[in-house]
A and B are shown apart, each in its own frame.
Chain A
Amino acid sequence: MFMFEKAVVGSKRYWAWVLSLCAVIGLGFLCYLLQLRDGLGITGMSRDVSWGLYIAQFTFFVGVAASAVMVVLPYYLHDYKAFGKITILGEFLAVSAVTMCMLFIFVDMGQPMRVMNVMLHPTPNSMMFWDMVSLSGYLVLNALISLIMLSAERKGVAPPKWIKPVILLSIPWAVSIHTVTAFLYNGLPGRAFWLTAILAPRFLASAFAAGPSLLILLAMVIRKLTWFNAGKEAIQKLALIVTYAMIINVFFILMEVFTALYSGIPEDAAHLRFLYTGLGGQAPLVPWMWTSSALALISLVLLIVPRYRHNEKILAVTCVAVFLSLWIDKGIGLIIGGFVPSPLEKVTSYVPTLPEITIIAAIWALGALMITVFYKIALSVRERLPEKAMAH
């Protein structure tokens, strides 16, 4: 297959990493077989909390996928040269993240054998249908773009002209995947926590903070392990993007808190109370949510003060903080918090089970494996190129 020969040569360290990822994937696969045999009852989900970490992780990684647009847009629309070297990293990140999203949806299905029913009986009034359309479209777009760009790079020729409109299309498409994902939730009448018009903007803001943070960390890791250097300018620009996105994200969260608490409408406030103070004697997410808030505040300080942002050692810590904070907020709190209390005001606690966590870890490992292999290929292609060809 295309350039995959480059992924099967590598150092001992490379193979140890790949094999340990495969081990996690294998474990998760076994747990999935258990789930397939016994049903979704092996997870912590219940009648009242009918979506759990699978869907929450899906939501979070749609954001990571969409964030590729934060390197693609400045480079292709504003001709921002410093991102030239890393656009391919962003696109490969998108491909991996969308694949993870699809897997998270798949493992959440009660009848996975019937998955094709979504296409056999297309239903335009269901947001889930549009989510499938936008996600698979985004996967195709990014796979195509990265393939074409990389093979042009390998041959040392300019990419074909027709790819430009495809790249431009991928920009609004990235926005659409996260908007439609927000619509999954904020079009439901009985779920006050999600019934907010700023859910999609909030999703985008948190995505554009979490995704580029991850990209910065990946660029730093690659620089440490290989010859490839994304460049200080590119990393600093990404850090600036994270800064603005994180400020907007925290601002949006505070607006939600104000609206719910000041209006005093009980069902709006109840979800926040469950998440941040506990409700009906149940407070499983309280430490998580306050950790998320603390990390958000710390990272804001470290991002906004230029001295800290420019220091790459501190920036690395900041990026971890941003990613973790948003992962808790969106990858746990947002979905679970929407279900508790239930429309009948019941408080049911949700704790993921070990098999459930193993399946999630396996999908993470698969994402990491895809990133590893894709980046390995991209770097091997570039290794052979003279510097001048690399800058396009």
Chain B
Amino acid sequence: MDRRKFLGIAAGASALAIAGSALPKVIGGGSEGGTEPSSAVRWAMVIDPSKCLKKDGCTACMDACDKIHNIPDFHDPKHEVKWIWKEPFENAFPEQENKFTAEKFKDKPFILLCNHCDNPPCVRVCPTQATWKREDGIVMMDWHRCIGCRYCMAACPYGSRSFNWLDPRTHIERMDPGFPTRTKGVVEKCTLCEERIARGEKPACVEACPEKAMVFGNLSDPKSEARQLLQERYSIRRKPELGTQPEVYYLID
């Protein structure tokens, strides 16, 4: 075998190996937005910002989440851990901003959380499968396995992931023994309250909202309230152009 031939084969073989193992997942994931959910259950969230904005300065959903999930408060935006939070419309939907944004939304806070994407980039990049998409669509995390490389944080286009830069335990006001804290050096994010869903309950934020502005439901069920809302009203999602297929919808009409 001469050198050129050898080089050709070596390069070809390694390219094939990479392509063979990674391509199906990468290409297969980028489905179009219009397809029906394939599993029996597809959890999603429909948020009505108009209802949410009725009560100025309300933080009921965030407080409920922080409390039951032992979210630490570091009093430092650089080390902040947040699962559900508020962001002005212009930051939540940067590409939707215009000079004449309707008064009711201009500079108004929108509720943000993990989008539990159908095609989650964070899952694609995780080197240990410490984060993955469940059958029912929840993008789940295994804090026992996370190595803290923070690749998922670079991959998430929504800023939904937080890292424990320091030991969170000493920064939790009231610890709830019903849910573990995290340890320093792992990434965390909203799990759509999968532990509550397992008990047949709704996510804590949904339950806590005094205006019932958040509707949690199964999009695979045509009769579910969430599905009905999406059919009747106009909704937008964050950065749909990235092909991640977010499953948190915002009703804007």
Contact = CB atoms under 8 A, between A and B. Distances in A.
Nearest to B121: A189
Interface string B5-27: 01100110010001001100110
Contacts of A168: 3, 6-7, 10
B197 interface: no
A124 B77 CA distance: 34
B239 A190 contact: yes
Contacts of A118: 127-128, 147
A183 B191 CA distance: 28
Given A126-B126, A128-B151, A111 B186 contact: yes
B125 A127 contact: yes
Interface string B121-158: 10011111110000000000000011111110111111
* Residue from the set A108, A124, A176, A339 with the largest chain B CB neighbour count within 10 Å: A124
A110 B187 CA distance: 9
Contacts of A132: 127
B145 A125 contact: no
B164 interface: yes
A110 B147 contact: yes
A345 B93 CA distance: 10
A114 B26 CA distance: 26
Contacts of B180: none
A145 to B, nearest CB: 15
Contact of A191 (B14, B145, B154, B167): B154
B125 A128 contact: yes
Contact of B10 (A128, A172, A344): A172
Given A77-B3, A191-B154, A114 B147 contact: yes
B151 A344 contact: no
B25 A39 contact: no
Interface stretch (A23-31, A41-49, A228-236): A41-49
A342 interface: yes
B92 interface: yes
A188 interface: yes
Interface residues of A, number: 54
Contacts of B87: 344
Given A41-B165, A188-B121, A109 B185 contact: yes
B242 interface: yes
B244 A117 contact: no
A346 interface: yes
A41 B186 contact: no
A127 B148 CA distance: 16
Contacts of B129: 121, 123
A126 to B, nearest CB: 4
Interface string A126-161: 111110100000000000000000000000000000
A267 B95 CA distance: 9
B26 A47 contact: no
A176 B165 contact: no
Nearest to B91: A344
A348 interface: yes
B185 A39 contact: yes
A147 B208 CA distance: 66
B43 to A, nearest CB: 22
B21 A126 contact: no
B54 interface: no
Contact of A188 (B78, B155, B159): B155
B210 interface: no
Given A117-B145, A128-B151, A345-B94, A39 B125 contact: no
B159 A344 contact: yes
Contacts of B149: 105, 108-110, 128
B10 A126 contact: no
B252 interface: no
B184 A110 contact: yes
Nearest to A117: B128
A282 interface: no
A190 B242 contact: yes
* Residue from the set B7, B26, B127, B162 with the largest chain A CB neighbour count within 10 Å: B127
A204 B154 CA distance: 22
Contact of A125 (B26, B148, B183, B186): B26
Contacts of B155: 188-190
A169 interface: yes
A343 interface: yes
B148 to A, nearest CB: 2
Contacts of A109: 147-149, 185
A172 B164 contact: no
B21 A124 contact: yes
Interface in B17-41: 18, 21-22, 25-26
27 contacts: A38-B184, A40-B148, A41-B166, A46-B165, A47-B77, A47-B162, A48-B78, A48-B159, A50-B154, A108-B150, A109-B147, A110-B164, A111-B148, A111-B185, A114-B146, A118-B128, A123-B128, A126-B127, A172-B14, A176-B14, A187-B124, A189-B242, A189-B243, A190-B239, A345-B90, A346-B159, A348-B78
Given A40-B185, A124-B21, A190-B121, 12 more contacts: A41-B166, A47-B77, A110-B147, A110-B186, A111-B185, A121-B129, A123-B128, A187-B125, A189-B121, A189-B155, A190-B239, A343-B158
Interface of A: 38-41, 45-48, 50-51, 77, 105, 108-112, 114-115, 117-118, 120-121, 123-130, 132, 165, 168-169, 171-172, 176, 184-185, 187-191, 267, 338-339, 342-346, 348
Interface of B: 3, 6-7, 10-11, 14, 18, 21-22, 25-26, 77-80, 87, 90-92, 94, 121, 124-130, 145-151, 153-159, 162-167, 183-187, 239, 242-244
